[in-house]
Amino acid sequence: MRLAKRTSVRVCFSVATVDADLARGSEPSAPPPLSRLEAMRRLRAADLDAGVIVAPILPGLSDTEDSLDAVAAAARDHGAAFFHHRPLKLDPGVRPHCFTFLAEHFPVLMPATAAHFADRVNPDWHYVDELEALVARVRERHGFNDEPERAPIRPEPEEGTPAQLRLAI
């Protein structure tokens, strides 16, 4: 919390779905969605800029209006300052896990998912455009602004105060 007194801090929590079974199957090593939302709620209670990024959005599983609506409602209920999204991105290390998961649990989705991605890391632009419009409706319905206000940047530390190196990831 001391960092937020000196500079702008924004904490993003990825929540792909609030369906605990789907979350456990698609991200078996990640904390459950409600645990992430509770952590975000606590940061918001401490007056930090924290919110939700619906990510990864899984084609055919978590990209429905009902699914996105449920995540947005949970984000709002837990005090999220913002709500953004990120479609599934199939980096080389993710692609095998994704298709193994689909083959085991949702084989009917294999052809459509393969078509969305073909030889790409990102889904085709038609799908992304449809998803953008869908998320825009969900955001508006739950009162998330198009461009959420960012916390103001705090003034530089006074002279004599040790400066911290900037971190970049």
Residue 55: which residues within 8 A CB-CB, separation 6 or more? 14, 15, 16, 85, 86, 87
Positive or negative, the Cα torsion across 24, 29, 34, 37? negative
Domains of the chain: which residue ranges? Answer: 3-89+123-141
**What pTM value is reported for the model?**
0.81
Render pLDDT for 146-158 as a digit per residue (tens, 0 to 9): 554 444 444 445 5
Per-residue confidence (pLDDT) for residue 155, from 0 to 100: 47
Model confidence band, residue 145 (pLDDT cutoffs 50, 70, 90): confident
Asked whether the predicted pLDDT for residue 11 surpasses 90, the reply is yes
Average pLDDT over residues 19-32: 92
29-62 pLDDT tens trace? 999 999 999 999 999 999 999 999 999 999 999 9
Class of domain 3-89+123-141: alpha beta
